[in-house]
Amino acid sequence: MSWQVADIALIGLAVMGQNLILNMNDHGFVVCAYNRTTDKVKAFLENEAKGTNVVGAFSLEEMVNKLKSPKRVMMLVKAGSAVDAFIDKLVPLLSQGDIIIDGGNSEYKDTERRTKDLESKGILFVGSGVSGGEEGARYGPSLMPGGNPKAWPHIKPIFQAICAKADGEPCCDWVGDNGAGHFVKMVHNGIEYGDMQLIGEAYHIMRNGLNLNNEQMSNIFAQWNKEELDSFLIEITSNILKYKDQEGYLLERIRDTAGQKGTGKWTAISALDYGVPVTLIGESVFARCLSALKDERVEASKLLKGPSTKFNGDVKSMTEALKKALYLSKIISYAQGFMLMKEAAKVHNWNLNYGGIALMWRGGCIIRRRSTNPNLSNLMIDDFFAKALNSCEQSTRLIIGLAINLGLPTPALSTALAFYDGYRTAKLPANLLQAQRDYFGAHTYELLGQENKFVHTNWTGHGGNVSASTYDA
């Protein structure tokens, strides 16, 4: 056997890295495993990878020497400086046309910088979203590669072999140039934040509003997973609700303070940067921040009053309405995510494959859902989704009204309905806002029927006729 035996190398032997290596091995690819702490390489080869074709390396030089050309090196390491440190060490060991793949949750602007920097050195860089968690990595993740398009033909056979399949189609395609892959993964993670918050609010309404027990709630989520709400998160929520140990239901003993790693926050910041109203993800990030104020909330619960109303209606009809409210809100969240991707694509000249992205998100990824025609200006006006929204909006109003009357917070469900009502309103009160801006700051306004002509009014008779320069805010 020649020295150059491996099809691809993978750096980073945490659970995601190990599972991805074993997945590649299952599909006939020889993988060279490397970790900065080389004891992990030895342990992996002697345990999880025992009996496979996986080879190990105990230095980066050894790892690179075991690779066939063009050399393909994938990293699954912590985002940020660790990625740059490995790139700096790898570049002197690689040749023209070799490929470095970052499979971590890197910020898309870092991926843009790395792609351009490495292209000048003759190295092809790929920033790829990897979704599906531990199980996805092992048996079929959703992969979202972007970066230098010259790398795609060389990684496509591996990526499309190991990824999840939906109706026989691989849940992986080239997303776009430079930071496009990591941008799409960031939006995916942001939508996941929204989905999790929405499910949490539904659980809160069922538990504290409808007074359902864990078994009842678990059964409802299990049923929803057989219908239009079917998704990985709905599925696992059903399992979590019914999980018991020797002390009873575990969920009820878990501290109600949510952690976050930053990708939801990045999505919300990007939404502000690009001027796109991604309200549901923003509210979901803020809800996690509010949950972190546990001690303050406990104190406030003793001082601040809420309604004493109790629900005494029909539970079955209300859970059906809750299902519809959740469905409407999920559609809104996806629509907002696609709005953000479209705007970023316009700014960066990314030729995003929206149909491919919709397919990528169907199988293997945590926000597993279905989509029909994503090339419209907004998913909400797709015939399928418009019909679904119209059939769910009354139920959503009923649920939010119930939550308000019971004093239960529903930031994500409420903002979904607010966005729905805003988007379907032909004339919003922003005319008053523009008048106010012109009144106090001479910022000008446009008259209906005279668009693109900015005028200023001396509202009081005391101000001048000089207007401020126009700008978009």
pLDDT in tens, 216-253: 999 999 999 999 898 889 999 999 999 999 999 999 99
The tokens of 460 are what?
């009081």
Tell me which of 192, 201, 283, 342 is the catalytic residue.
Answer: 192
> Looking at residues 254-281, what average pLDDT do you find?
90
Q: Which domains does the chain have, with CATH numbers?
A: 8-174 (3.40.50.720), 185-424 (1.10.1040.10), 428-472 (1.20.5.320)
Could you list the beta-strand ranges (E) of 8-137: 8-11, 31-34, 55-56, 72-75, 99-102, 124-131
296 counts as catalytic: no
Average pLDDT over every residue of 388-394: 96
**Residue 230 CB neighbours (<10 A):** 13
Q: For 355-371, what is each residue's pLDDT tens digit?
A: 777 766 665 444 444 55
pLDDT at 373: 57
- The whole-number average pLDDT for the span 2-14 is 88
> Is 116 a known active-site residue?
no
Kindly report which listed range (370-374, 380-384, 427-431) carries the lowest average pLDDT score: 370-374
pTM comes to: 0.86
CA of 91: how far to CAs of 65, 97, 99, 125, 330, in Å? 13, 11, 10, 11, 43
Amino acid at 306: G
What's the start-to-end Cα distance of the chain, in Å? 63
85-122 residue pLDDT tens = 999 999 999 999 999 999 998 999 999 999 999 999 99
Ligand-binding site membership of 79 (annotated): yes
Active-site choice (40, 66, 185, 324): 185
Among residues 127, 103, 94, the alpha carbon closest in space to that of 113 is found at 127
Confidence band, pLDDT 50/70/90 cuts, at residue 264? confident
Determine contact, residues 322/205, Cβ cutoff 8 Å: yes
DSSP letter at 350 equals -
pLDDT in tens, 113-160: 999 999 999 999 999 998 888 888 888 998 999 999 999 999 999 999
Reduce the DSSP state of residue 180 to 3 states and report it: helix
Looking at every residue in the chain, the average pLDDT score rounds to 91
What burial class does residue 235 get, using C-beta atoms within 10 Å of its C-beta: 0-12 exposed, 13-18 middle, 19+ buried?
Answer: middle
Is residue 77 annotated as involved in ligand binding?
yes
The reply, when asked if residue 12 is annotated as ligand binding, is: yes
According to the annotation, is 462 in a ligand binding site? Answer: no
Q: Is 133 annotated as a binding residue?
A: yes
Q: Which of 126, 132, 82 is nearest to 102 (CA)?
A: 126
Task: Flag whether 16 is marked binding.
Answer: yes
30 annotated as ligand-binding: no
d(CA 51, CA 176): 38
| Cα–Cα dist 283/332, whole Å | 13
pLDDT bin (cut points 50, 70, 90) of residue 372 is: very low
pLDDT digits (tens, 9 = 90+) for 407-450: 999 999 999 999 999 999 999 999 999 999 999 889 999 999 99
> Does the annotation list 288 as a binding residue?
yes
Say if residue 78 carries a ligand binding annotation. Answer: yes
